[in-house]
Amino acid sequence: MKIKTYKTKQEVALNFSRYLAILIAARDTVHIALSGGSTPKIVFDELAANFQEDIDWSGVHLYWGDERCVDPTDDDSNYKMTQEHLISKIDIPEKNIHRIKGENDPEREAKRYSGVLATNLPSVNGIPQFDMVILGMGDDGHTASIFPHEINLWYSNQYCEVAVHPDSGQRRVSITGQIINNADCVVFLVTGSNKAEKFDEIINQKGDYRNYPARLVKPTSGKLIWFIDKDAAEMG
Ligand code: 6PG
């Protein structure tokens, strides 16, 4: 595991974008699972604004690690955020965009998307393998859309499950632990002082860390890299 700490969210975005550009340049086809949330939004803006010449998106396939069960036009949609901040601003083939269809029946969509991963991704250890899974971490220690109150979903034998947000009750489709930990590379993008306590507990295996789904991210053979800012790194 590597922890890369930067002064600001912007520097996290810039340095992660550089890392991503190198990964994409090294492979003809790249399958990436995106995250929702505020930190990825800053990364997408950085990629769109400053990496147009550095990244050939023609071989990049975009998926989502989780999606809210809403229409793709809904402000809550991770796809909509990505469409606005990245997809609409880069030259990427439409066929390379593999969104979770939040408008569908959640249980049926979880099954459909599990099939998409099984069909599109190479199988490693008998499990679909992403080149990269990008994750955020909630200030409750959730990741993707696996929340502490449903941490059992992490261990599902399905590739995708339907999760429920603990406060809003909003349903979400999320990839599960076996997909995340089978990735060739997992990147956490975590910024903000509200993440510092959970980050500290997880990295130092203390407090209630056992309750946090984010602490279960341990790629079987792939890399795990945390791109964080100083606010998230500083406890107390
Ligand atoms: C989502 C994200 C979620 C996010 C965390 C952190 O759909 O909301 O996938 O897991 O990564 O909530 O979000 P921030 O980056 O906004 O703190």
How far, in Å, from the CA of 116 to the mean position of ligand 1? 23
Read off the pLDDT band of 160 (50, 70, 90): very high
What pLDDT digit, counting tens, does each position of 63-107 carry?
Answer: 999 999 999 999 999 999 999 999 999 999 999 999 999 999 999
Q: Looking at ligand 1, which residue's alpha carbon is closest to its atom 7?
A: 36
Q: Looking at ligand 1, which residue's alpha carbon is closest to its atom 10?
A: 144
Of 64, 82, 137, which is best to mutate to test ligand 1, by the most ligand atoms within 8 angstroms of its C-beta?
137
- Ligand 1 in contact with 82 (CB < 6 A)? no
Reduced to 3 states, what is the DSSP secondary structure of residue 15?
A: helix
**Atom number in ligand 1 closest to CA 194:** 17
In the block, which residue shows the tokens 């995708």? Answer: 160
pLDDT at 186 over 60: yes
Reduced to 3 states, what is the DSSP secondary structure of residue 56?
A: coil
Of 12, 85, 143, 170, which is best to mutate to test ligand 1, by the most ligand atoms within 8 angstroms of its C-beta?
143
Average pLDDT of the chain? 97
- CA–CA separation, 209 and 214 (whole Å): 9
What pLDDT digit, counting tens, does each position of 27-50 carry?
Answer: 999 999 999 999 999 999 999 999
- CA–CA separation, 62 and 232 (whole Å): 27
How far, in Å, from the CA of 58 to the mean position of ligand 1? 27
How far, in Å, from the CA of 150 to the mean position of ligand 1? 16
Read off the pLDDT band of 220 (50, 70, 90): very high
Q: What is the pLDDT of residue 33?
A: 99
Residue 97 per-residue DSSP state: B
Q: What is the pLDDT of residue 236?
A: 56
- Ligand 1 in contact with 102 (CB < 6 A)? no
- Is residue 69 within 8 A of residue 106, CB to CB? The reply is yes
Torsional sign, CA 174, 126, 218, 18:
negative
- What element of type H or E holds 13? helix 9-25
Token pair belonging to 136: 């955020």
pTM for the model: 0.97
Q: Looking at ligand 1, which residue's alpha carbon is closest to its atom 13?
A: 37
| CATH tag for 2-138+179-192+222-233 (out of 2.40.50.100, 3.40.50.300, 3.40.50.1360, 3.40.630.30) | 3.40.50.1360
How far, in Å, from the CA of 144 to the mean position of ligand 1? 7
- Is residue 128 within 8 A of residue 118, CB to CB? The reply is yes
Token pair belonging to 111: 């099954």
